[in-house]
Structure 1
């Protein structure tokens, strides 16, 4: 798997992914900062990136109906989407904590995330929940 980290997340996530043995880069490292979601989706799909974002709605659509809208709504096949759902006033530490949970889930899957979404959510009571589901469904 190779990962592309969205510009809304810390570049420190790239370092952690590389330490774990994955190929990873950040949107800013590709000089794609400020690109529209649609333009970024073309890059993600063409290069088979597993995309990591903090903007779940923009890419998977509404939580209740994933795939009904958002960047991945028209994708027939993709390398996977990881949504780190956290408060907007989060810290790099929180992002790294959620990434650790995502890496743990990926290890349990013993494969890849082709046509799947991995959502890692930090709840108000500080518990972390991970959910994996297919997209397209």
Structure 2
């Protein structure tokens, strides 16, 4: 998958995801620290990257105004270890659906219930 690991998350997540065969970047590694959320959103749409973040409200609102976007993986604010476990759970969840996980994420937000179970919900501009 093509993933953008938001600045609020550990840069090591992008490194670990790359080791697993994903195209994952973190702002620290690509000279994009401190970018405004709308700039991050625009670049991720242009690069076809799913945004992975704990900054759920801002990105849900920004992407929810777009007619088409690559998707959002919305992590709750938690420990680094728990965040990594939720990222892994999201990838397993998407792969278990069959087909290309990137296709499943188009115009969707993957978030988690209180027990850490992932769910995929539509997220797009209406009319």
Equivalent pairs, count = 121
Tell me the TM-score normalized by structure 1.
0.80
**Residues 24-49 of structure 1: per-residue CA shift (max 9 Å, x gap):** 11022222211111111111111111
Shift of 1:75: 1.2
Kept in 2: contact 1:101–1:120 (CA 8 A): no
- Cross-structure match for 2:106: 114
- Cross-structure match for 1:45: 45
Equivalent residues in 2 for 1:1-137, closer than 5 Å: 1-60=1-60, 70-87=61-78, 90=79, 92-110=80-98, 111=100, 112=102, 113-121=105-113, 123=114, 127-136=115-124
Which consecutive unaligned segments of at least 5 residues does structure 2 have? none
Which consecutive unaligned segments of at least 5 residues does structure 1 have? 61-69
Shift of 1:84: 0.9
Tell me the TM-score normalized by structure 2.
0.86
Relative CO higher for 1 or 2, CA cutoff 8 Å, sep ≥ 6? 2
The runs of at least 4 consecutive aligned structure 1 residues that moved more than 6 Å come to none
Shift of 1:109: 2.3
SS in 2 for 1:85: coil
